[in-house]
Chain A
């Protein structure tokens, strides 16, 4: 009983983890492998987008959504903003 009290948080987290993993695996088995866009359009009954470019700009299977050039530019601006905020306000 005391073990449960001490580890209540971890036990609840573990139970949630198992439930979530089992349902996710079941759902994955039912739908099969497909990209996010395709999964969504299929779910709501829309025709698949013709612009979908699978495998473009991938790095070990990881890829950036949207325009990679804009992604880098905006991320760079955010990093500059973070640096400025850190210099001004610290943490």
Chain B
């Protein structure tokens, strides 16, 4: 759910490059792991393609709640593909989103980091909850809340660290404003949690192998 919804020029060139470099390092690591340690099964390519298309399709749709919000499906990406392939999926979704004018090109690096944090946390929480409950709906729902909460925290940290060019707001004022956005984003996470829970629950019934509970 979290996404830095600012235009190019909001961050200084230094921070645009800095976030891009960090994001590229993560992508490089993901590619390295895919080529060496975690070689994907062929079916995983199809699943990755499906979640990329679904996430791109839904991410661009503004839902008329609280004036306009959107869903990202990053926790679902995490649960179905894992954090390694998930990192590449969120990169593609963010690049394609920038290509159609949803978010600035310069912010793709920062937004990949935000999405990556959602993927990583959602994946670990979903896996970790296996010991606590077998109910897939609850596991997916809680993982969604945790992932999206992490994404909002990273979004706030990235903006506060980078600073916004040409504004007179104090850090405290920006933090207050962004905290309110994060709270509203988390409200939308309720829809996303139900959606993810229902999808994961359904897949768990008909094709539990796809969920990859035993996958690394």
Contacts and interface: CB of A to CB of B under 8 A. Distances in A.
Interface of A: 8-10, 12-13, 16-17, 20-21, 23-28, 30-46, 49, 58, 60-67, 70-71, 74-75, 78-79, 81-82, 85-86, 88-91
SS class of chain A's interface: helix, strand, loop or mixed?
helix
B129 A9 contact: yes
Contacts of A61: 63-64
Given A78-B53, A85-B46, A70 B100 contact: yes
B187 A82 contact: no
A69 to B, nearest CB: 9
Q: Which interface class (under 10, 10 to 19, 20 to 34, 35 or more) fits B?
A: 35 or more
7 contacts: A38-B67, A45-B168, A70-B101, A78-B49, A85-B49, A88-B42, A91-B46
A20 to B, nearest CB: 5
Given A65-B101, A65-B102, A34 B180 contact: no
A30 B180 contact: yes
A46 to B, nearest CB: 6
Contact of B60 (A35, A66, A89): A66
Interface of B: 4-7, 10, 42-43, 45-47, 49-50, 52-53, 56-57, 60-64, 66-70, 96-97, 99-102, 129, 132-135, 137-139, 141-142, 145, 159, 164, 166-169, 173-174, 177-181, 183-184, 186-190, 193, 197, 207, 210
A40 to B, nearest CB: 4
A88 B36 CA distance: 23
A42 B6 CA distance: 11
A67 B101 contact: yes
A58 B99 CA distance: 21
A61 B207 CA distance: 35
B76 to A, nearest CB: 15
Contact of A74 (B45, B56, B66): B56
A50 B139 CA distance: 43
Contacts of B68: 34-36, 63
A80 to B, nearest CB: 10
Given A27-B180, A89-B45, A44 B56 contact: no
B61 A62 contact: yes
A34 to B, nearest CB: 4
Contacts of A36: 5, 62, 67-70
